[in-house]
Structure 1
């Protein structure tokens, strides 16, 4: 029997988290196939990845909920997850609530709620929650996965530039330098966990935490899972380069109705998402066409998102042409398998003693840490190279 692997999810009651947990249990019972799981591709078989069935879940959330109840709500609201599958795995989902603790608000921890206490006390709460989960789940290795709502951008601070300066900011209770996502990443690394930032929030993207990751010999990756419009964009944009066609304008409009869309209706949170999505085209094309990315919250869409893109480009003899595409997908069903992929890849890196950036995971993210390459094919080649099957 395979060794159990802990996956501690920040935002454990969110749609993506619940779908990932339910999906893992369904796969373990033979009730679902592996479609959507990148790590099940034949090219990645040489990797000694933990079986999906070995993943054990816990985490935290700012909401008071129940995993099974949220799963049924997703089924009713979004018209996904077959009832027989949900009925079969619901008893296993009910046990997860025992290892889901109270989370930190997305604002700076020291100012969000007096109950959180100081920054050091907040760090202690997170590390203690991870330790309790590790003990109760009987797991040695834990992957911490940030699936929480997007934070507003965190301004750069001298406290981010070195681990010593960051530790000093914690001691001084300087909340201006430490958002919840940064604090979670710090606490996870201190606890010896691998860390995956599936959100556009700052999280581990500060030099101080890169230093900590190497000191603690833990791997990490991010940022912002690539599941929809940007996935298509990073596959399509290289075509214009390879045909020597000049992109004049690329406009994209995203409509979504889930909790992610509700959070992104906040201009401050939307700024983080737009910054993450906006890096793609200049990196691939080598220049900056006229671009616009819009994000609109449409509650009636629930978990279904639509992206419409218009591309104006120039070809031979200055002839101007256009292309459009529409992407429609269920957000949680696109993201959840990637959560399982990244948990398996992060656990393998942790088991191998790898530290720092997991650059081979670039194909999973809009804004990959430590990788400038944005072409999906080139990013996927990094994963194949890691697997030794190139």
Structure 2
């Protein structure tokens, strides 16, 4: 069926490195496929590209080789101690396909990305560009965002994630945004995706606290329990925590988190999400939620929960799932937003359900369509 290229934006980051090393481990039979949605029995026979058909490349501003990054993650307890050595050849092969990220913006950046994608695509069936880079601040609206004809002369108004989406579509590649950044979420870029016949999906991977919210909020709604307030505190280490220490970047993340509650409860509720950077946590994160609700006859009650997890280990298998699913979308000629991938995201594209159970059913149906 041919090879599917996976071009990772932020290719030397923790999530990308874990995904590349994990794919190599799974191909070699060195690990179980725990956490991989597309390997569940519900997706058997869906004609998805196999992990052996995925070829990794990408951009990054950092220069640390993938093998070294894998060793660092192993020392931090994210990867098994023996894994970096066992998959060193696969990591070196991916390293040879990495390129420096553009340092300029606008048309110069687009031309560099298109050139790198064109080179990468040689011998591949399709390419999926997958953004796992740091979160950007929100993109202020601009008249050029409204139509492709206007945008063509104003590429300088696009943030990096949107420039990548533009370049991906121009290069004939699908695009997935695993971050809460702008990505392809502009009318002009939607127009370009449809015109070039490329699929896109996103945004902001749903891996921890918001995953729980997408299950618990429908529970309250379906039981007729009145949620009065829902507050959360997130403690993050690592690069993600450092990025989200910037209030502008954190506002993008918080907005996507809050939408899951509003959409599932049918209205806004009191309470906010706070994100605190704790460097000592490294690649781990802790989320604490406090839910105040009332039941029959107005009886007040609370739910408190704590979620602790390794961000890279939660996100990496979903990155592989999305690469396989978007590769299938490319092969099938799907163009424009793929709403059925909403299962993976806090703020999904298109019109689809927002509770996890319905999103899973929609994804399973799409995969077998």
What TM-score results when the alignment is normalised by the length of structure 2? 0.98
Give the CA deviation at 1:84: 2.5
How large is the Cα RMSD of the aligned pairs?
1.2
Counterpart position of 2:271: 291
Counterpart position of 1:325: 305
Counterpart position of 1:158: 143
Counterpart position of 2:19: 20
The answer to whether the Cα contact below 8 Å between 2:234 and 2:288 also exists between their aligned partners in 1 is: yes
Counterpart position of 1:340: 320
Q: How does 1:1-390 map to 2 (within 5 A)?
A: 3-77=2-76, 79-104=77-102, 109-110=104-105, 119-135=106-122, 138-170=123-155, 175=156, 177-371=157-351, 373-388=353-368
Give the CA deviation at 1:323: 0.6
Q: Which whole-Å CA distance do the structure 2 matches of 1:56 and 1:66 have between them?
A: 17
Give the CA deviation at 1:306: 0.4
Q: Which whole-Å CA distance do the structure 2 matches of 1:65 and 1:133 have between them?
A: 20
1:134-163 deviations in Å (ceiling 9; x for gaps): 22xx21211100011000110111111111
Q: Which whole-Å CA distance do the structure 2 matches of 1:76 and 1:85 have between them?
A: 11
Structure 2 unaligned regions, length at least 5: none
1:282-329 deviations in Å (ceiling 9; x for gaps): 111112211210101000000110000010100011100001110000
1:28-76 deviations in Å (ceiling 9; x for gaps): 1111111100001111113110111221100000111200100000111
1:325-377 deviations in Å (ceiling 9; x for gaps): 10000000000000000000000000000101111100100000113532111
Q: Which whole-Å CA distance do the structure 2 matches of 1:130 and 1:351 have between them?
A: 18
The answer to whether the Cα contact below 8 Å between 2:57 and 2:97 also exists between their aligned partners in 1 is: yes
State the 4+ residue runs in structure 1 displaced beyond 3 angstroms: none
The answer to whether the Cα contact below 8 Å between 1:224 and 1:365 also exists between their aligned partners in 2 is: yes
Structure 1 unaligned regions, length at least 5: 111-118
Q: Which whole-Å CA distance do the structure 1 matches of 2:297 and 2:96 have between them?
A: 66
The answer to whether the Cα contact below 8 Å between 2:198 and 2:335 also exists between their aligned partners in 1 is: yes
Q: Which whole-Å CA distance do the structure 1 matches of 2:109 and 2:27 have between them?
A: 35
Give the CA deviation at 1:388: 4.0
1:87-122 deviations in Å (ceiling 9; x for gaps): 1101220122221111136xxx43xxxxxxxx2221
Q: Which whole-Å CA distance do the structure 1 matches of 2:337 and 2:344 have between them?
A: 13
| 2:306 alignment partner, SS class | strand
Q: Which whole-Å CA distance do the structure 2 matches of 1:10 and 1:388 have between them?
A: 29
Moved more, 291-300 or 372-381: 372-381
The answer to whether the Cα contact below 8 Å between 2:352 and 2:359 also exists between their aligned partners in 1 is: no
Q: Which whole-Å CA distance do the structure 1 matches of 2:332 and 2:97 have between them?
A: 27
The answer to whether the Cα contact below 8 Å between 2:203 and 2:347 also exists between their aligned partners in 1 is: yes
Q: Which whole-Å CA distance do the structure 2 matches of 1:314 and 1:80 have between them?
A: 40
The answer to whether the Cα contact below 8 Å between 1:104 and 1:180 also exists between their aligned partners in 2 is: no
Aligned residues: 369
Counterpart position of 1:113: none
1:13-37 deviations in Å (ceiling 9; x for gaps): 0000000000000111111111100
| 1:296 alignment partner, SS class | strand
Q: Which whole-Å CA distance do the structure 2 matches of 1:316 and 1:81 have between them?
A: 48
The answer to whether the Cα contact below 8 Å between 2:207 and 2:315 also exists between their aligned partners in 1 is: yes
TM-aligned CA distance change 1:89 to 1:268, over 3 Å: same
The answer to whether the Cα contact below 8 Å between 2:325 and 2:367 also exists between their aligned partners in 1 is: no
The answer to whether the Cα contact below 8 Å between 2:229 and 2:293 also exists between their aligned partners in 1 is: yes
